[in-house]
Amino acid sequence: MKETKTVHISFAFYDRANLEKFLEEQAAEGWLITTYAPQCIRFRRIQPAKLHFSIIYHHTPVTINRLTSEQLEYLEFCGRTGWYLVTAERRMMILANPAAHPIPIETDPKMQLENIHKSVKKQHIASLLTYIVMGLLYFVMASFHGIVASVSSTSITFFLPMGIWYCAQGLPDIVGYYLWRRKAKIAAEDGTFYNGSSANAAYYIIQSLAFVLCALLLIVLCCGISPVLNGIVPP
């Protein structure tokens, strides 16, 4: 019997409501989260338990083995109502509580949204912007090598697919986050935290399409099919 498992997820880093619900479902099946990554979660086997989870976002780095005195004090405060730390990484703490109706740790939707935004800006958006900048640089290099005049050249075989791929890694996720944030801000004004799905599904669809486009482009160019010779692009 397996004691650990890794599950690939489609939840965004900031999609707190769906992440918490997913972790509760896994705990009921006998799996407790040990590590979190943007596209997968690792679990260890436990006795099936009805646990409630709460994800707390920080604008400073959080590591389970290197908690600051302020973070330890915060966890002690949470422990008074039954919350205990399960794991901490990527600027967020994941806490669990076995009580049937635990007292919520955070109750102000506006404050929750602001904490998520601070964490996302530091942890997530910075890396996504790096992808976009890299993609744009590849497009610039492709243009510099004259891909319009020489479509079958080696430059397009490398630079153009790389530009498409890097932009597909960063741009959809940033757009998806700000679309989600806009809906969450409207919900926060009404005193509730937005529980709708994030736009992360669109990210995977666009990423898959970009992968297929890059693969087709590489096949066409590597096989020596020149749009210039075939009359598609004027020489």
Per-residue pLDDT at 234 exceeds 50:
no
Q: What is the CA radius of gyration of the chain?
A: 23
By the 10 Å C-beta count (0-12 exposed, 13-18 middle, 19+ buried), 113 is classed as buried
pLDDT over 60 (residue 153): no
Residue type, 121: K
> For residue 7, what pLDDT is reported?
92
The letter for the amino acid at 126 is A
Percent of the chain scoring above 70 in pLDDT: 77
- Mean pLDDT, the chain, as a whole number? 81
Nearest-angstrom CA–CA distance, 61 and 68: 10
The C-alpha angle 106, 12, 84, rounded to 5 degrees, equals 40
pLDDT confidence bin for 217, thresholds 50/70/90: low
Kindly report the CA angle at 231 between 228 and 235, in degrees rounded to 5?
Answer: 45
Is 145:155 a contact under the CB 8 Å cutoff?
yes
pLDDT the model gives residue 235? 46
Region 106-132: mean pLDDT is 86
pTM of the model: 0.75
